[in-house]
Amino acid sequence: MTLKIRIDDSAAPYEQVRAQISEQARGGTLPVGYKLPTVRGLAEELGLAANTVAKAYRALEADGVIETRGRNGTFVASARDAASREAAGAAQVYAERVRRLGLSEDAALAAARDAVRAAYSAG
């Protein structure tokens, strides 16, 4: 696992740690089941406070990217499954909201399709 923290970056160090681990897990660089360093170990390696790394790990765990198995350590979870679960949850919230707004199913699907196209063409 290779992480680079840039002090001059506009993103906070914990966010840089979170984003890089997440990207490496989702991209397959960090395979499912890979054991991550301890919070203290990674903090020392990166020259960060332990609380900074702990905050990143908590965010990654909340996102389903990593899982802590007590004293056994912290491991990369199945990030693709976590992303799919999160997308399904967001879709459910969207569906309930547009239904309350009175949109037809076709109008709701068209709005979602337009939003997805715009997001993917933007970047």
Task: Give the three-class secondary structure for 74.
Answer: strand
Note the pTM of the prediction, 2 decimals. Answer: 0.65
Q: What is the pLDDT of residue 27?
A: 82
The residues facing 76 across adjacent strands are: 66
Distance CA 97, CA 88 (A): 14
pLDDT tens digits, one per residue of 22-54: 989 888 888 989 999 999 999 999 999 999 999
Greatest CA span in the chain, whole angstroms? 55
Pair 79, 33: CB distance under 8 Å: no
Q: Which of 75-79, 89-93, 97-101, 115-119 has the lowest mean pLDDT?
A: 75-79
Distance CA 88, CA 71 (A): 32
Residue 90: which residues within 8 A CB-CB, separation 6 or more? none
